[in-house]
Structure 1
Amino acid sequence: MVIGIIVGFVVSFFRISIEALSSQILKLAHFSIHNLLGVVILILINLLIAIFVYGLIKSDPNIKGSGIPQVEGQLNGELDYSWLSVLIKKFIGGVLSISSGLFLGREGPSIQLGASAAQGFASITHKKGVSKDCIIAGGSAAGLSAAFNAPIASTLFVLEEIYHNFSTPVWLVALSASISSNFVSTAIFGKIPVLHMSYSQVIPLHIYPYLILLGIMLGIGGRIYELCTLHINEWYKKLNKIPEIVWILLPFFLVIPLDMYLPHIVGGGSGLVLRIAQIAPSMSTLILFLLIRFSFSILSYATGLPGGIFLPMLTLGALLGGIFARILISLHVLPDTYFVNFIIISMSGFFACISKSPFTAILLITEMVGSLQNLMALAFVTLIAYEVTDLLGGSPIYNEMLQKLLSPQELSTSGKLVNMFFSVQLGSQLADKKVKDVQWPEGCIVCSITRNEKSLIPDGETVIKAGDNIELSTNRDNRGYVYTHVEKLALN
């Protein structure tokens, strides 16, 4: 709970700083519409921000991008970094990048800020090993909770996306930290949900066949977004004669006209989601917004600037849902009153199919909207979108980002002995195999297997079952190597 309170204040100050600086930049952009001097000042400000943030990234590459892959790598033993450096530089870099209008979200940086603050707390209180990891996991959940006021979904995100299992110590700490963090952010920002929308009806059952088509569209769109986001840096590298700083400067300059003439579509996207829910724009307007948001979101994230894709993904999902609703309305299949419902359920479906975190997506949108009325439709569309992307070869985007950050893990025999825990999923390579028949990575020993809350001391003939929790022992510096190999065996 102490961790949650600390992180709640850190992330709340992060949100306040972004909102304050962003409003000033948008005021300057509005002034610049009829004043050339304002344009010059705006260009100079963005130029200075770009150069300064580029310097921050060069001084500490661990602040690049969302921060979620870095936290996942740290908890898996694959990354290690200075918490104080990341906390300070991620905070400053995130505020400057997001406030300038770039299409980046605050939630990824909030998660890393929470994890870094928790890591600092663990260091000051001399916590190590599993206790330290639990504290960092709690801090990351608290960061997301303070960013979105969604404590339950934040807890589930850590379990589903980062740990891929429901470890009791982890979820207890994460939930406690999330609730206390949410208490702080609610006291500062109020009780109104981040994406609170007004609507009067629940989608009737005879509309559900059309939701199948919506789920298919979201799944295909999610796969396209994932491919573009993961591979744009490879396309940049082919243009190796262009200095890296140019790619940093490009979005800062391109966003200036949008700050001036379309201020409601810049930034993370929460304001745009609320706006389209309120005014229900035309089909052409929604398509224009989608094209701009899609291209600028990928361009902004590809620079490596501190900022997330969490909220931009939700915004793209909302736009796709609005377009699909407009099609059905024009065909006289859907009444206008259900337009907002389609925005809500599409956010969940689009996020779930890209992150591969369906439970998190369903609960996150439910908490952010502040209503349970769409729960059935949310689950229906989310599972369809998830399955479509799965069939198209999609994988969890944050895990893919992590793998791009890491060089191939190598065997190490240094460091004190530590224990690692893995949950065996149904359908994995470990399920129903004898211990002696598994190709375990070098440098680790199977210490125990916990089954139905009973601990077993395994031998070569012990059969591993789905649902078992396996405890391995290895050298501390070998954690990343062991995790990389055993995760593939334990997951379906």
Structure 2
Amino acid sequence: MIDEVFYLKGCDDLVARAKDVLERPFSINYVNLIVQGAIVGLITGGIVSCFRWLIDHSLKLLFWWYPYLEKHLSYVLVYALFLVAISWLLSKILKYDLTNLVGSGVPQIEAISLGQNSYAPWQILWRKFVGGLLAICPGLFLGREGPCIQMGACVGQGLANDVFKTSKKDQQTLLLAGVAAGLAAAFSAPLAGVLFMVEEITMTFKPRIWLTALAAALSADLMTLVLLGQKPSLAMYITPFVSAPNYVFLLILGIVIGVLAYGYQYVLLEQRYLYSKLKWLPQRYHSLIPLLLTIPLGLWNAKILGGSHDFINYVTDMSLMTTEPRAILKLLLLFFIVRFIFSMISYGASVPGGIFMPILTLGAVIGCFSGLLGVNAGWIEHSQVLGLILVSMAAYFGAIEKAPFTAIVLLTEMAGSLASVFPLVFVTFIAYTVDTLLGGRPIYTALREEMKFK
């Protein structure tokens, strides 16, 4: 309501003044909530930094271990027994709450926001941390970003309930802030963290929620910078396209990626059914299958193991090669097949771990393969292959997750350049549309609907 008005000289119209339409200074009622969000982010950033550090160093150890194992094959049986022990330990951790500990944790968070699920956040937090390490460190094709998101949500929910003693509404807001903080700390990408929360969980853009989430994401990212240094989790400082790309080629690429994205969704959603056929092996022991399969994969090429940040850099280096293009294309095709199949086996095995990085890794392989194929056919320049890797990662992720804005912003933050955003948007839009036309749905929503919550 306008409290004060004045009359323009010679005019009967009422005119409001600035103070009548602006809010009073310091009148917002969620400043404390923003501060609490920042605290959630700091704690989440510390936990995720430790999680990242342990995974990074364990995978580097695998790069040494498998070449050593290849020269000392007598140790293969001993290592296999070690992996059996890891599977047994994982089963003990998962026994507490199998439904809420397996996978990335994002479907479980969605279920909480919808009132379909609940769990004790501190109990899930430490089990997700330890279980995630036990699953990812041996080299399963799982992403660490999903567990980071759930751990952030647990921190937000736990602090809201036990420390801040907030209302139910603010408990939900801090849980969401933890989601943004977890992804921001995992990728050193605060904007993508907030957008992911909006696209995947809330579907709304209310200032109370996103300001709190942004405070959490920024403080989480700050903590990772302090603890792990300035280098992001996955830095790809490249300018996507120095010269104008071939948009007909990009159109075809977008269509192909959309089809492949639908294939990924379909096969992933079949894993629960396929694993249910293993009547002789209880569900919490399913990890035994992919863990033992890491041995032949590691002996073949250890760089292919894990989520895998290192493998994306490996693929990027391959894109710069100009010799033996056919051999490189065949190897990339083999990489895609192996990564696709084992990603499905890993995620379907009822273990803690996500699909975030495995999707981006497959997108990188698609981009490198299509780029080198385009160069050989004379459709694009060799200098544009790196750009196609970036574009394909965004499009494949955006189509599968049904989070195109998160994909575009995430890859832009990773590239460190705003020079060529349009190709990113164009191919992501085409892939998203094709996947939708084929019947694709947001993958986390579909996974949530497959799960049975108590």
TM-score normalised according to structure 1 size: 0.80
1:181 and 2:220 matched: yes
SS across alignment from 2:353: coil
Q: Distance in 2 between matches of 1:54 and 1:16?
A: 24
Change (3 A) 1:115 1:294: same
1:60-75 superposed matches below 5 A: 60-61=97-98, 62-75=100-113
- State the partner residue of 2:44: 7
In 2, the alpha carbon distance for the partners of 1:3 and 1:241 equals 43
Name which of 188, 192, 198 aligns with 1:159: 198
For residues 16 and 212 of structure 1, do their structure 2 counterparts lie closer, same or farther at Cα, with a shift above 3 Å needed?
same
Partner of 1:166: helix, strand, or coil?
coil
Match of 2:136 in 1: 98
1:385 is matched with: 431
Equivalent residue runs for 1:51-450 within 5 Å: 51-61=88-98, 62-123=100-161, 124-197=163-236, 199=238, 202=241, 204-205=243-244, 207-244=246-283, 247-280=286-319, 282-406=328-452
- Does the aligned pair in 2 maintain the 1:214–1:324 contact within 8 Å? yes
Using the alignment, how far apart are the partners of 1:76 and 1:43 within structure 2?
Answer: 42
Deviation string 1:188-228 (CA, Å, 9 cap, x unpaired) is: 22223333235466264451111000100110000000000
* Cα distance in 1, alignment partners of residues 211 and 156 from structure 2: 15
| Contact in 2 for aligned 1:203/1:377 (Cα 8 Å) | no
Q: CA deviation at 1:98?
A: 0.4
- Runs (5+) with no aligned partner, structure 1: 410-492
Name stretches of at least 5 consecutive residues in structure 2 with no aligned partner: 1-37, 322-327
Question: Any conservation in 2 of the 1:201–1:337 contact (CA below 8 Å)?
Answer: no
Distance 2:361 2:419 in 1: 20
Q: Residues 171 and 246 of structure 1: is their aligned pair in 2 closer, same or farther, counting only changes over 3 Å? A: closer
CA distance in 1, matches of 2:235, 2:123: 35
User: Match of 1:189, as an amino acid?
Assistant: L
Query: What CA deviation, in whole Å up to 9, does each residue of 1:413-435 have, x standing for no partner?
Result: xxxxxxxxxxxxxxxxxxxxxxx
The CA deviation string for residues 37-94 of structure 1, in whole angstroms up to 9 with x for no partner, is: 4322321221111111122112222111111111111122211001111011000000
Distance 1:56 1:156 in 2: 32
State the partner residue of 1:41.
78
Distance 1:392 1:340 in 2: 29
Q: Percent identity?
A: 36
CA distance 1:26–1:59, shift in 2 (3 Å): farther
Q: Report the counterpart of residue 66 of structure 2 in structure 1.
A: 29
CA contact (8 A) 2:95 2:284 kept: no
Q: Assess, with a 3 A threshold, how the Cα gap between structure 1 residues 368 and 197 changes in structure 2: closer, same or farther.
A: closer
Higher strand proportion? 1
Partner-residue secondary structure (3-state), 2:286: helix
The farther-off stretch of 242-251 and 266-275 is 242-251
Equivalent-residue separation in structure 1 for 2:67 and 2:198 (angstroms): 43
Are 1:26 and 1:260, in contact at CA under 8 Å, matched by a contact in 2?
no
Q: Distance in 2 between matches of 1:169 and 1:188?
A: 29
AA matched with 1:116: C
Deviation at 1:176, TM superposition (A): 0.5
Cα offsets for 1:169-191 (capped at 9, x unmatched):
11011101000100111122222
Q: Deviations 1:385-420 (Å, cap 9, x if unpaired)?
A: 00000000000000111111236x9xxxxxxxxxxx
- How far residue 248 of structure 1 moved from its aligned partner, in angstroms, is 2.1
Q: Aligned equivalents of 1:108 and 1:201: distance in 2?
A: 27
Q: SS of the residue aligned with 1:33? A: helix
Superposed CA deviations along residues 142-165 of structure 1, whole A, max 9, x for unmatched, are 011000000001001001111111
Structure number with greater CO (CA < 8 Å, separation at least 6) is: 2
Contact kept? 1:248, 1:303, Cα under 8 Å = yes
Q: Equivalences for 1:453-492 in 2 at 5 Å?
A: none
C-alpha distance after superposition, 1:220-258 (max 9, x if no partner): 000000000011211232443554366321110111122
Cα deviation, residue 339, structure 1: 1.0
Give the superposition deviation at 1:276.
1.3
Go from structure 1 to structure 2 and tell me whether the alpha carbon gap of 1:201 and 1:240 turns closer, same or farther (over 3 Å shift): closer
Which amino acid letter does the alignment assign opposite residue 274 of structure 1?
A: N
Asked whether the 8 Å contact 1:216–1:385 carries over to 2, the reply is yes
> Would the aligned equivalents of 1:83 and 1:116 in 2 still touch at CA under 8 Å?
yes
What displacement does 1:354 show? 0.7
Structure 2-normalised TM-score? 0.86
Task: Please state how far the C-alpha of 1:271 moved relative to its aligned partner.
Answer: 0.9
**Alignment-derived partner of residue 489 in structure 1:** none
What is the distance in 2 between the residues matched to 1:365 and 1:199? 11
Distance 1:283 1:301 in 2: 27
CA contact (8 A) 1:199 1:337 kept: no
Distance 2:205 2:189 in 1: 18
Secondary structure in structure 2 of the residue aligned to 1:216: helix
* Paired residue total: 408
